[in-house]
């Protein structure tokens, strides 16, 4: 019985509001990368700045997934 109680507690903890699952975090990363690329193209930003923006998006995604 204690094992089942622990499993249920884990399920409830996973359902907390604001909890991101890895697929959600990856979707946010894809959206952020697309927006950064579009913004860079529209603003005519050089490729090195675009690389910095992409790295920032990757770090952000790792932080979000790590928080999960």
Domain boundaries, the chain: 19-67
Contact 49, 40 (CB under 8 A): yes
Confidence (pTM): 0.42
CA atoms within 13 A on the CB side of 56: 11
| Nearest of 49, 17, 56 to residue 33 by alpha carbon | 56
Question: For each of the chain's 68 residues, which pLDDT tens digit applies?
Answer: 455 566 666 565 555 566 656 677 677 777 877 887 787 778 887 778 778 877 887 787 777 766 65
Report the distance separating Cα 47 and Cα 53, nearest Å.
10
């Amino acid at each position: 019985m204690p094992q089942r109680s622990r499993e249920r507690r884990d399920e409830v903890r996973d359902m907390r509001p604001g909890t991101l699952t890895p697929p959600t975090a990856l979707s946010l990363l894809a959206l952020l990368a697309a927006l950064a690329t579009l913004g860079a193209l529209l603003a005519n930003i050089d490729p090195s700045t675009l690389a910095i923006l992409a790295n920032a998006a990757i770090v952000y995604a790792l932080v979000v997934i790590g928080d999960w």
